[in-house]
Structure 1
């Protein structure tokens, strides 16, 4: 590998969005995007739900799904591997081109109220959100044909809508719909478009970034990589480096590289998740559908938005199977079960953190990931309020299936904050509002981990929008550097 203008570590939604923005803004840039995992399916970064053949899809997902289930954890979600840390037993990562963007549910709500960082320029952030929606192909019309949508949203709205707050409505989804009504789920391949075929842009699967190379503790000069298949180690030079792994491995790479701001790994935010399910009974509307899809397009996906005085948000979707055990003899038609998931805002604390154990290194010399995490009294209060609300919503929709339950910590997969941005280098943040790491000239971070606020909504849209701002700032910096040379 020769020298590049920018090396981007991580090919998930944010890493790919940053690469796409840079290539669109400055087509002459030489870009390298690294990912430690393989390509799944026929397109790099494609969503696995779009793989038509069920056996091919199952094989692709199984190849990157962890086999080990630590004590206190549920089995890993398909496409992920559990970290295995007692404080957050369901903490997991995806190691494949596209990251978790190859497996996610594609929910893309906009943040609201105090979920939005108050130090960002409102107009610039709103424009970045619009660009993120464009890159992700977000729509609220993916399930317009779903016959139960009006009924579900009417019932939820009557119970949960309040004056002055965003009303219950369709969940914004990163989905495009074919003429036959079939959904095509957005993976990072959609964000990329023709990016991987452009001159000067290189995607390198199976290539782990082990160190960011830094000169004079200030300027990134490239990365040290390990070829996963062969174990060979190389140095790749670059004018700038972006680390957009995830909220667990991005701070690890910085830490292993000797880049250790005081806030690195701290303010870890996992959204406590409350789940419930109910049986609908709408004779003549429910029809048998083919099993194997995560969402049955009869009621679509509905959204109960977050508000500052109601510290959680909800999503409601029809499922092809019950997420909770049913009484013996209970017969359920595909689509008859409605799953409800409420995500709670987590009170931010510097003591909730990920840290790295040099006493236990993997085969590539990366330290083991450790997590410290606990719920505060405010968190428990939010979970209790969410439990009461979700119980009432399930009862309003149909016959509840058992009581609501709280998922083990880490289940949301919405980890944030570990390289959070901030308005000043005061020890409480890792990077500025453009994603540039404090004290460096050309090292940037991206991903859910830069979100600095306590949030309840799904974070992907927000993270991609912040990545758009990072790409624009980085491109401007590279151009200024050339003009001043």
Structure 2
């Protein structure tokens, strides 16, 4: 392939947005590489990618595993398809709040303060419900909220139970000050179809002669001339190795794959790289070193036969709230789950003695615990070692203990509890005892699948920072990172919309340079 002005690695939430925006300049040639398949039309797209009623966690996945706590390993889904995790996830289109970005600014990244990122949140969206100072119309990603008549019956009961419990009514969870119960904003045009960045950004850009999309190409490492990035080495769909050159290289493969590519390229903790026989180009200990994710658990029951419709979306209504005694705004999310298939979770299936559960789930949005991602081999086919290190602080444990008790209390609501045959593990005595609930939290804990921070932004003096606030890798010319790995701290929401925003903002920065 001939030389490109921009080479974007990864056609996921951020990468698809980035490539589409960069190719708006007809004078710049853009190559977008994707390891998974690329479906150019909706007619070609498999049903499970279009079906927003459930997550797709196997067919279009990297099949990573992660250590969660106490050496327990879980599946750790990451989308391997154009659109990335936006094409397989739960379609929850939430934004971070101003305090998240004020924190980013205070960590040496003033260009990412709230007033700087809001225009990019607005630009990406076509909000079908709100048109005001906080929302945009005409963007590539449709966002709608569930209407009352579209909700499963148990969602109405949950909504009323949350109001009675003291949570305020919320019409728009993406208003900066919103806190309480209301319908989930979702990246869809209708009640059924998941709308990914491939369907939004790439669909509008595919006809441009200056944009090339190359799918089935897995990037092994970045190529350099001295300390200047000049391209990438890929394994092509036929299994051969080829080199592709470009003026600027951007890694947008997500918080797992991006640090792995950096380390295979010689950028990362020197001792770890040397142990694997990788020549060290740049000793940067922060690569893979600050992994943050959202832990989740809850109170669940086995549903009685005929009490749910498997065609309903599994999530429709949520509570965003601040944990009692916490100084972190909206650091908890509660969801009423209509139904959840345990096929990919054999341990939970065994505990439940059933294939489907429903219940109230809680997700901790601002945990103190930090994990790490480590390269296990220089072989690009070898997955990295992902250690989430959940529940590493007493505060994280106590917040979830209290939150599970709230889940249990909400599940006692008439119209919810009588839909179930039995609770999964939890019982009344356990719910009243902090120590027993602590054991339950450890047993039932899983991930929100929102990894961030593994190549975080910060000043050059910050030893753990990997990129500057322009998202250029410290000490390397023409190499940028544009995905969730650059987040210096985790946002108090699902990370998909913020990842897209990062792609939008980086595209503007690169085009202006």
**Normalising by the residue count of structure 2, what TM-score does the alignment of the two structures yield?**
0.74
Counterpart in 2 of 1:131?
123
Residues 93, 470 of structure 1: alpha-carbon distance in 2 compared, 3 angstrom cutoff: same
Give the corresponding residue for 1:265.
288
The correspondence of residues 41-52 of structure 1 with structure 2, limited to 5 A, is 43=42, 48-49=47-48
Counterpart selection for 1:240 from 245, 248, 252: 248
**In structure 2, do the counterparts of structure 1 residues 140 and 269 end up closer, same or farther at CA, with 3 Å as the change threshold?**
same
Alpha-carbon distance between aligned partners in 2 of 1:87 and 1:302, rounded to the nearest angstrom: 30
* Partner residue, 2:91: 106
Counterparts of 2:352 and 2:117, CA distance in 1: 52
Aligned partners of 1:214 and 1:410: how far apart in 2? Answer: 39
Alignment partner of 1:137: what SS?
strand
Report deviation, 1:104. Answer: 0.7
Q: 1:116 aligns to what?
A: 101
**Matched residue, 1:481:** none
Q: What displacement does 1:166 show?
A: 1.4
Q: Secondary structure at the match of 1:123?
A: helix
Counterpart residue number, 1:69: none
Alpha-carbon contact 1:87-1:409 (below 8 Å) kept? no
Preserved contact between residue 420 and residue 429 of structure 1 (Cα < 8 Å): yes
Q: Distance in 1 between matches of 2:225 and 2:113?
A: 32
Find the partner of 1:157 among 163, 171, 175. Answer: 163
Specify whether residues 329 and 357 from structure 1 end up closer, same or farther in structure 2 by C-alpha distance, changes over 3 A only.
closer
SS at match of 2:120: helix
Moved more, 144-153 or 93-102: 144-153
1:329-369: CA deviations, max 9, x gaps?
Answer: 99x9x9xx75432111354566x2101123xx54xx45541
Matched residue of 2:477: which SS?
coil
> Which deviates further from its counterpart, 120-129 or 79-88?
79-88
Q: Which residue of 2 aligns with 1:68?
A: none
Other structure's SS at 1:247 match: helix
Please state if 1:356 is matched with 2:362: no
1:429 offset after TM fit, Å? 1.8
Q: How big is each residue's C-alpha offset from its partner over 1:429-474, in whole Å with a ceiling of 9 and x where there is no partner?
A: 2112332222233211122222222444211111111221111111
- Cα distance change on mapping 1:305 and 1:207 into 2, 3 Å: same
Q: Distance in 1 between matches of 2:334 and 2:364?
A: 9
Superposed CA deviations along residues 256-296 of structure 1, whole A, max 9, x for unmatched, are 11122221101101211113336899xxxx9875x4x4616
Partner of 2:179: 166
Q: Give the C-alpha shift of residue 410 in structure 1.
A: 5.9
CA contact (8 A) 1:295 1:318 kept: yes
**Higher mean C-alpha displacement, 165-174 vs 372-381:** 372-381
Q: What CA deviation, in whole Å up to 9, does each residue of 1:25-56 have, x standing for no partner? A: x133211111122236955995743658xxxx
Question: Which residue in the other structure is 2:32 paired with?
Answer: 33
Q: 1:433 to 1:306 in 2, by over 3 A?
A: farther
Query: Is the aligned partner of 1:398 residue 2:416?
Result: yes
Structure 1 partner of 2:214: 204
How has the CA–CA distance of structure 1 residues 381 and 327 changed in structure 2, closer, same or farther, with 3 Å as cutoff?
A: closer
SS of alignment partner, residue 188 of structure 2: strand
The within-5 A match list for 1:58-137 is 63-64=59-60, 79=61, 81-83=63-65, 86=71, 88-112=73-97, 114-118=99-103, 119=105, 120-133=112-125, 134-137=139-142
Q: Is 1:315 equivalent to 2:335 in the alignment?
A: yes
> Deviation digits for residues 55-90 of structure 1, max 9, x if unmatched?
xx99x98654xxxxxxxxxxxxxx451336556533
Query: 2:482 is matched with which residue?
Result: 446
Residue 11 (structure 1) aligns with: 11
Q: Quick check: 2:368–2:393 contact (8 Å CA) kept in 1? A: no
- The whole-number CA distance in structure 1 between the counterparts of 2:141 and 2:44 is 13
2:183 touches 2:316 (CA, 8 Å); kept in 1?
Answer: yes
Corresponding pairs, count = 434
- Listed as ranges, the gaps of 5+ residues in structure 2 are 106-111, 126-138, 170-176, 269-283, 323-327, 427-439
Aligned partners of 1:215, 1:45: CA distance in 2, in Å? Answer: 40
Asked whether 1:378 is paired with 2:386, we answer: no
The 1:391–1:233 alpha-carbon spacing in structure 2 relative to 1, beyond 3 Å, is: same
Using a 3 Å threshold, how does the CA distance of structure 1 residues 467 and 90 change in structure 2: closer, same or farther?
A: same
CA separation in 2, counterparts of 1:21 and 1:10?
14
Is residue 437 from structure 1 mapped to residue 473 from structure 2 by the alignment?
yes
Q: 1:43 to 1:4 in 2, by over 3 A?
A: farther
Instruction: Name whichever of 374-383 and 82-91 sits farther off.
Output: 82-91
Question: Which residues of 2 match residues 330-349 of structure 1 at below 5 A?
Answer: 338-345=358-365, 347-348=367-368
Structure 1 pair 142–432 and aligned structure 2 pair: CA distance change class (3 A): farther
The equivalences for 1:135-150 within 5 A come to 135-141=140-146, 145-146=150-151, 148=153, 150=156
**Is 2:384 the counterpart of 1:369?**
yes
